Amino acid sequence: MAELRWNPLLKDWVMVASNRQNRPQMPKDWCPFCPGSGKVPDVYDVQEYDNDFPALSKEPPVPDNVGSEFYKIKEAYGKCEVILYSPEHTKTLSELPLPHVRKLVDLWCERFTELSKDERVKYIFEFENRGAEVGVTMPHPHGQIYAYSQMPLKIKTELDSCREYYKENDECLICKMNKEEIEFKKRIIMENEDFLAYLPFFTDYPYGIFIVSKTHLSKMTDFNESQKENFADILKKVSGTFDCLFDKKFPYMMCIHQAPVNSKEYGNYDDYYHFHVEFYPPLRSKEKIKYYASSEMGAWAACNPTAVEETAIELRTAYEKYKLTKQI
**Enzyme catalytic residues:** 142
Give the Cα separation of 200 and 204 in Å (integer).
Answer: 9
Question: Residue 82: which residues within 8 A CB-CB, separation 6 or more?
Answer: 33, 48, 49, 50, 51, 142, 143, 144
Question: Are the beta carbons of 99 and 229 closer than 8 angstroms?
Answer: no
Angle at 14 between CA 270 and CA 212, to 5 degrees: 30
Question: Are the beta carbons of 235 and 317 closer than 8 angstroms?
Answer: no
Q: Phi/psi class of residue 327: alpha, beta or left (left: φ > 0; alpha: ψ in -120 to 50)?
A: left
Residue 93: count of CB within 10 angstroms of its CB: 24
Strand segments, DSSP code E, in 86-183 are 123-130, 142-148
Residue 300: count of CB within 10 angstroms of its CB: 8
Give the Cα separation of 51 and 37 in Å (integer).
Answer: 16
Helix 225-245 / helix 308-326 crossing angle, nearest 10 deg: 100
Residue 53: count of CB within 10 angstroms of its CB: 13
Question: Residue 244: which residues within 8 A CB-CB, separation 6 or more?
Answer: 318, 319, 321, 322, 325
Burial class (CB in 10 A: 0-12, 13-18, 19+), 274: buried
